[in-house]
Structure 1
C-alpha cells in the first residue's frame, strides 16, 4: 500500500497529565486540533467519558463548537457521542446547530456504550435499559430528524429538530465489535473500528460492514477507518517509557482501580505477576509505539489488514511536546 494514500485522523480524549488541571487538559486539546489542522490531518474527533479524573472530555458537542471555530480545514467530530446517554432529538439538534455554524466540516461519530460505569450512566439517563434495540431505534429516529420526516400518524411526524438546515453531518458508528458495523452498513453510515479497545476481529468486522453496506442519502460508498493508540519518537528511551506507562494504565483499568494521572517515575519500579504480564502482552496489541520506521511499517500493515485508507491515531503522553512531536512524525510519513 502506498503510504501517501493513507489519510490520518486524531481521536483525542483530553487526557489530564500529572500536575495539570482538567481545564489545562482541554486547552491542550484545542492546541492539538490547531496543530494537526496545520499538518494536514483529515479529521479530529473528541470523546465522551464521565466520572474519571484522567480524561477531561465529557461533552464532545460543546468542545467541537470551539474546535471548529479555532481550525480551518480539518473535519471536527465526536468520537463519539454515547447514544444511550442522550435522546435522539437532542443529538440531532446539537449537530444541526454545529452543521449550521460549520457546514460540511462536522462528523457525528456515535457509540452504544455509556462511556462510563453503570451507576454514572444511570444518572446521565435514568431510563437507559442498555438494550440493543433501543440503540437501533435511536439511529432510525436520528435519520428522520436530520431529514425532517417521521412515520405518518405518529407524534414523531410532527416533531422537527431545530434549527432546520439543508446539510447533514457525516454519520459514523464507532465500535470495538462487529455488531455496530452491521448497523452502520444497514443505515448507510461510516464505520470506525476501535482497535485501541479491542485488537481482535477488526478486519473481519470491516469486511462484514463492506459486504452488507447499503447506500444512504448522504453516503453512496462505504467509508471505514480504524483507531489505534500510537506513539512515535526518534528517542528509543522515550518509546520504552511510554510503553511502560501504557502497560500500567491498562493493568490498573482491568483491575478496576481506575485511572489517575501518573508519570514514569511513579511506576518505573512496579513489578507484575505472571497473570498481569500475560495481560500486558495482550494489551500491547492495542498500541503501536516505536521509532518512525517501525511505526510506519506497522501502521501500513494494519491499514492493509483492515483494507482501509484512513487511520485514527490516539496518543496519550507524559509530556505535551511529545504528543505534538508524535503527530508531526506521523504527518511526515503519511501526509504529502
Structure 2
C-alpha cells in the first residue's frame, strides 16, 4: 500500500496576511492527521515573499501540541546557516514533545538569496562543510559520542530520551543522493523543484552506493511532488492557474503572493507558452482518481512505498479538499 505524506510551505496568498498562512499550516496538519497521512513536513525559506515559513522547528513544536500520531519533520533545515549542535538540541527538544515522531530533514541549499544567506551565516564557504556538519548532527541527535580530538568530544545534545529524531537527507541533484548513500540516511528528492528531472539518476546512485547501518539497514527513498486534486478535473485545472502564474512570474524574477485563480491568467509570450505547455503536461492535476493514478504510476516506476505531496492553492479550503480527496482515494486510515 502506498503511503502518503505532506509537505506544507506556508504559502502567502494575495488578500490575506502572511501570519494567516502560518495558522493555516497548523490547521492543515491536524486535518492531515485525521485523514491518515504518514508524516507532515514544513520547509525553511528566508526573505521570501511567497513562502513565509522561516522557522520549521518553531512551527513543528506548535504542530506537536495539536497532534498525537502523525510524524512531524523539517524539509528542511538549511544546515549551513547553523551550528549542528544547536540544531540537534532543538530537535531533541521536539522529540521530547513528540517522542518517536520527529524527522530532521536537512539540506545544503540556502533557501534564500545570497545576501540573505550571508546575513544568516557570514561564512561564504559554509556549504563546503556540509558533509562534516551532517555527521556531527547525526552523532548529537542520536547520542553517539563525538570522537576524541574533535572540539565536540564530551559535549552532548540534551534532552536525551528513549527515542531520537530520524535524520533525512534532502536534495534535488546527485550530490544529496550520493551523500545520503555514503552516510546511510533516508533520502527525499525534491521532485517539485526539478519537475522530475534527474530523479532516476539520483535514485540509482543512492541505491547502488547505499551503506547500511544499524539504524537504517536498507535504503529508504521518497519524492516530494506537487499535486492537486479537486472534485472535477475542470475545477482542478482552474485552481492550478494560481501556481502556473506564480511559476511563470518567478521565471522572470517576479516573486509574490499566490493570486486567486480568477486573477492569475495573463497573456504569455511564446517562450512562456512553451514552458506552460510543458508544466501542464507533467502536472499531477485532475480529479482524485486521475491524480491517484498518476501518483501510483510514479511510485511504481521509482520503486517507492511513500510519496510526499505539496499542494498550493489560493484558498485554504481547496488545499484541504485536495488532501482529503486523495486520502479517500488511497483509503488512508489513522492507526488506533
Normalised to the residue count of structure 2, the TM-score between the two structures is: 0.94
Shift of 1:73: 0.8
Counterpart in the other structure of 2:175: 179
Q: What is the aligned partner in structure 2 of residue 36 from structure 1?
A: 32
1:215 equivalent in alignment to 2:212: yes
What residue ranges of structure 2 are gaps of 5+ in the alignment? none
* Alpha-carbon offset, residue 166 of structure 1: 4.2
State the shift of 1:69 in Å.
Answer: 1.3
Counterpart CA distance in 1 for 2:318 and 2:174 is 33
1:180–1:286 distance in 2 versus 1, CA, 3 Å:
farther
How many angstroms does 1:322 deviate by? 0.9
Q: 2:81·2:117 contact (CA, 8 Å) conserved in 1?
A: yes
SS of the residue corresponding to residue 111 of structure 2 reads coil
Flag structure 1 segments of 5+ consecutive residues without an equivalent.
none
**Residue 257 (structure 1) aligned with residue 254 (structure 2):** yes
Indicate which of 62, 67, 81 corresponds to 2:63: 67
Deviations 1:244-279 (A, max 9, x none): 2222111111211113231123232x1111111222
Aligned length: 330
- Judged with a 3 Å threshold, the aligned counterparts in structure 2 of structure 1 residues 153 and 240 are, in CA distance, closer, same or farther, namely closer
Q: Is the 8 A contact 2:242 2:258 kept in 1?
A: no
Question: Taking structure 1 as the reference length, what is the TM-score of the superposition?
Answer: 0.94
Superposition RMSD on alpha carbons, in Å? 1.6
> Residues 64 and 77 of structure 1 are in contact (CA less than 8 Å); yes or no, is this contact kept in structure 2?
yes
Question: Which residue of the partner structure matches residue 17 of structure 2?
Answer: 21
Deviation at 1:154? 3.0
1:143-172 residue CA offsets vs partner (Å, 9 max, x unmatched): 222224122133221322222334321111
**8 Å Cα contact 2:234-2:286 kept in structure 1:** no
In structure 2, the residue matched to 1:136 is 131
Give the whole-Å Cα distance in 2 for the aligned partners of 1:87 and 1:335: 42
- Write the deviation string for residues 111-162 of structure 1: whole angstroms up to 9, x where unpaired: 110111111111111114254x411010111122222412213322132222
Residue of structure 2 equivalent to 1:159: 155
2:11/2:257 contact within 8 Å kept: no
Deviation per CA, 1:49-82: give whole Å up to 9, x if none.
1112222211000110110110111000001111
